[in-house]
Copies of this chain bind each other. A is one copy, B any other.
Amino acid sequence: MKAENKHTKIISAATKVFAKKGFFTARISDIAKEAKVADGTIYLYFNNKYDILLSVFEEEVGKIVENTEKLLSAEYDPRKQLEIFASQHLMAMKKNRYLAEVIQIELRQTHKVIKEYRDNKFSKYVGIVAVIIKHGQKTGIYRPDIKPDLAKRAFFGALDEISRVWNASLETNYSVEEIVTQMLSIFLTGIQIDPANLPE
């Protein structure tokens, strides 16, 4: 219980500090201060600085993936599925803005450790979109000429960039619903076989 608390405290402190200062600029002592523990305490729970970052992903991103997949499995309509993915992603990003920053900033790092993680776990997350699209193509709802590999990048990249700026500045004050509506009104129209014939 005590240990659980401390582990969690450090994770969320690290998320906050990484988001604010970036991985390389963040000092271990910053995280320790934020978590209100001694510097050394951090090393009772994590092997090193990278391990903290990885743990942030492993735990926090893991939750999002899990959650999203559960919701998707209960929905058959590929249009609804795309909506679920978009709203889940944006809601998660909005809920924990620090985590959003960390994902968006650090995931781009070229560091070996991070790269490996990104290639394994994160592309699985983005892959969900490809699965949805293929499903929609089989169902005859999405255009067969759409390349799922490209479309998944386009859809995820769009969401990602929107939430990036969302957090960085206050330029846009759109709600999650507004964004989802706009995104789907563009993408669904764009990838559906014949919008005119499909009820909505």
Cα–Cα distance between A119 and B156 once the two chains are bound (Å): 22
User: CB distance A161 to B171 under 8 Å?
Assistant: no
Cα–Cα distance between A182 and B144 once the two chains are bound (Å): 12
User: CB distance A153 to B182 under 8 Å?
Assistant: no
Cα–Cα distance between A171 and B164 once the two chains are bound (Å): 25
Cα–Cα distance between A67 and B151 once the two chains are bound (Å): 27
Closest chain B CB from A182 CB (angstroms): 5
Q: Which of A37-45, A53-61, A108-116 contacts B (4 or more CB under 8 A)?
A: A108-116
Closest chain B CB from A128 CB (angstroms): 15
Given known A-B contacts A101-B110, A159-B157, A151 and B182 have beta carbons under 8 A apart: yes
Tallying the copies of this chain within the complex gives 4
In the complex, what residue of chain B is closest to A154 when comparing beta carbons? B158
Q: For A169, list chain B residues within 8 Å (CB).
A: 119
Cα–Cα distance between A159 and B155 once the two chains are bound (Å): 10
Cα–Cα distance between A24 and B26 once the two chains are bound (Å): 12
Q: For A151, list chain B residues within 8 Å (CB).
A: 182, 186
Main secondary structure of the interface of A (DSSP, over half): helix
Please, could you name 7 A-B residue pairs with CB atoms under 8 Å apart, sorted by A? A115-B168, A147-B174, A153-B162, A154-B161, A154-B162, A154-B182, A196-B196
18 further interface pairs, Cβ-Cβ under 8 Å (given A151-B186, A153-B165, A154-B182)? A22-B111, A23-B24, A119-B168, A119-B169, A147-B174, A147-B182, A151-B182, A153-B158, A154-B162, A157-B159, A157-B161, A158-B161, A161-B161, A188-B190, A189-B189, A189-B190, A190-B190, A196-B196
